[in-house]
Amino acid sequence: MTIPTLVQSFKKKEVETKLVRFNSIINQAIQLADVEQGSHAWAKDTYVFAAPDDPVVNTSQDTVNWFNTYLAPHLKATCNEDTISGGSGGREFLICTMNNGDKFGIDYGSNREWIYFIGDPEKCLKKENYAGSCGFYFLFRMNDVQAGNEGWKYHVNTPFAPYMYNWDGEIETLKTDSTFGCNDSTETENSGRYCTALIQQNNWKVPEDYTFKF
């Protein structure tokens, strides 16, 4: 193998290992929070989230308070109230750091969309195609019903999982979907969100024909 090939192989394995670890750590924390709270009330669907004493999560401070109250004790992680933005749509994220140094972002004003970063979040979000190359999307959605929306079927009874909203179940769609597909399109700010699911569906291995280099 050439040096560039070895480096790419190492980086791919690093991505695979970190994604599996992050997914596991967050799901364990969610389970502990659920047991501690005694119900799903602490984590209802996010854009319409209602905590016992906090009607709506719609500001960065609301999201930080929610995270610190329910998940931080089980994650040993801290979130910065200041947001950073990036991507074609200028999306904003609260940046959180775990005690192992891993960093992830929670979409500003909600607790539904999370992005796990490989490396520095600010550098990542400056890239035109950050989703799938250095940032990997997950969805937090503690719902056990589809609420009449077929698009959520892969997020029923899966509190935290790779982003699969509106997925039709076909592996090829994870690559080619015009809105969320794991490709180098820059037509929408949502491009690349299916990359995490594509890796998961390949047994948490980066496919040989993966769009991005690491």
Q: What is the pLDDT of residue 51?
A: 47
**What CA–CA distance (Å, rounded) separates 74 from 150?**
32
CA distance 137 to 156: 17
pLDDT at residue 77 in the model: 86
Domain boundaries, the chain: 3-201
Predicted confidence band of residue 186 (pLDDT cuts 50, 70, 90): low
What does the alpha-carbon distance between residue 140 and residue 26 come to, in Å, rounded to a whole number? 10
Q: Quick one: pLDDT band at residue 1, thresholds 50, 70, 90?
A: low
How far apart (Å, rounded) are the C-alpha atoms in residues 131 and 83?
A: 18
Alpha carbon distance 182, 174 (integer Å)? 6
Contact 152, 165 (CB under 8 A): yes
Specify the range with the lowest mean pLDDT, choosing from 124-138, 147-161, 170-184.
Answer: 147-161
Nearest to 72 by CA among 52, 96, 48: 96
Is the CB of residue 122 less than 8 Å from the CB of residue 157? no
In this prediction the pTM is 0.89
Question: Which position has the higher pLDDT, 106 or 80?
Answer: 106
pLDDT at residue number 42: 81
Tokens of 137: 């999307």
